[in-house]
Structure 1
């Protein structure tokens, strides 16, 4: 009871309970998390290097993809290294200030990921529905502006959440999660969290639902345009350029909405944990593989990047 703890000292650090409370299960899940993190970082960094090093990939679509890969590396790096270090040191704690910093970057990179996916959908809409004007509209200045807006809006959303979280008082220190999740922190507070919860709905709509609606609108227009294409081959070619993006969107938004936009009565610790692991570890790890497996140009660029002759010249 919060009233019974009112006279106690407010906690200065939190205890992160990790992926599981069972030691053996925790060990196995930590090994899995470490593997997913390393594979994801390697895949995303190779994607960035392949795009940067190959002039044939210097186009708006790959510019957005390289930014998505960078965001995925940053997104996973806000939580997994800290979790692994805590386990190695045997100290599953995080100071209240470090907890707020982690929450800020987690929300910022997550929101930027979401908004960037909508910019990528807009890019696909222009490429398919307005091909003659595509290069004029999607100039490098326009692409850079879209990415700058993505980072700016995401930073504002995250800063608002962090400022309001900083004003709360906490008398419980055990976070049933592997990072400082905003939902878990709100549940631990004995302050009035009504404003924080309202902000989650308002800014959550701005950072997640609005981009999701924009993506659906873009693909509705794409579907209408493709339907008018007379040949089956032409339809397949148009849709094939969107397949990778649709896979990533489905993975990312499916798990995000499952965690943050369902009624509180439907939430369980294990269900939320499983969904969170999906969008914080599995999806960023899968993204470079989804794009490289479905994209011949990117596969070719990665092949050239990894060839022995390429590295010999680099040395």
Structure 2
């Protein structure tokens, strides 16, 4: 598209999946199905944790917070993407784009930090079990959850304000939502301060929590290996398996998306990576924690049984 004067750019147009014109209806059905499964899975997890008193523990408190954050994270992106696929809306106002980027980043960083907090919870439970109830009391849990949200949306606000103070010379976003790199590519010029800011926020939101989790799991695994019985080792590690699976996929996708050199970017590759962390990863959380977690399965049976009896 021809570049226009930045004063005239008051809205952006998503190019989205224009390279797959003949498959857009198929993509719509697939993404809608995954989105509905994500919503249903996360709502079920939050509801079961709230109703079943056996799950009123710090571990499931943070899982409930993660499911809630994942629900809003998907809500910010997928409905608009689905409307674009069926031709209802390909454009978004400058203010709407800024709001979407702010909310997307806020919930994305919240998810990253919550996973780190959940790792800390598992570390205390396994490596310091006698003091677990003292360290991870409800006051501490509430403080950690609120600190995570405040930190995430503060970083998101700084990033969004820095980006949308730039003048824009193009209106065609080669993506299906307002992500950091696609929007920065439309600026007439990107000051080095924006690149530095993006790197710093990526380090704080991805690298720092990932490093913390890596150290936590080294300590956790070393503690598990000291358990005398094989059955005890297996049972203890099972409490971490679901969390570790989500962590590996979540941070893996985020690292590829935000640390890959720009010179290696192609539109199709970027969109494939983005689909993974905006559509597939939010579904992974309820699937892993419901299908592989025995406590959640048992709680779901109790809740369903209670409703059936009623």
Question: Matched residues in 2 for 1:241 and 1:27: separation?
Answer: 40
* Structure 2 CA distance for partners of 1:5 and 1:17, relative to 1, 3 Å: closer
Whole-angstrom distance in 1 between the partners of 2:3 and 2:36:
42
1:288 partnered with 2:275 = no
Query: Please, what TM-score do these two structures have when normalized by structure 1?
Result: 0.94
DSSP 3-state at the match of 1:94: strand
- The offset of 1:226, in angstroms, is 1.1
**Does the 8 Å contact 1:122/1:215 carry over to 2?**
yes
1:251 to 244, 249, 252: 249
CA distance in 1, matches of 2:249, 2:146: 24
- Corresponding residue to 1:161 among 134, 159, 177: 159
Shift of residue 56 of structure 1?
A: 0.6
Give yes or no for contact 1:19–1:29 (8 Å, CA) kept in 2: no
Note the 1:49-198 alignment, pairs <5 A. Answer: 49-88=47-86, 90-198=88-196
Does the 8 Å CA contact 2:38/2:71 hold for their aligned counterparts?
yes
Contact 1:17–1:174 (Cα < 8 Å) also in 2:
yes
Q: Matches of residues 185-264 of structure 1 in structure 2 within 5 Å?
A: 185-264=183-262
Farther off after superposition, 29-38 or 109-118 = 29-38
Superimposed CA distance per residue, residues 169-206 of structure 1 (whole angstroms, 9 cap, x where no aligned partner): 11211111110011101111113332111101111111
Name the SS of the counterpart of 2:260 in structure 1: coil
Task: Tell me the alpha carbon deviations over residues 50-82 of structure 1, each in whole angstroms, 9 at most, x when there is no partner.
Answer: 000001100000000000100110111000111
How well do the aligned residues superpose, as a CA RMSD in angstroms?
1.7
Structure 1, gaps ≥5 residues long? none
Separation in structure 2 between the aligned mates of residue 177 and residue 303 of structure 1, nearest angstrom: 42
Give the unaligned 5+ runs of structure 2.
none
Is the Cα–Cα contact under 8 Å of residues 229 and 235 in structure 1 kept in the other structure?
yes
223-232 vs 113-122, which deviates more? 223-232
* Length, aligned pairs only: 310
**Which moved further from structure 2: 246-255 or 289-298?**
289-298
State the Cα distance separating 1:28 from its structure 2 match: 1.5
Q: 1: distance between equivalents of 2:145 and 2:17? A: 33
Output the TM-score relative to the length of structure 2: 0.95
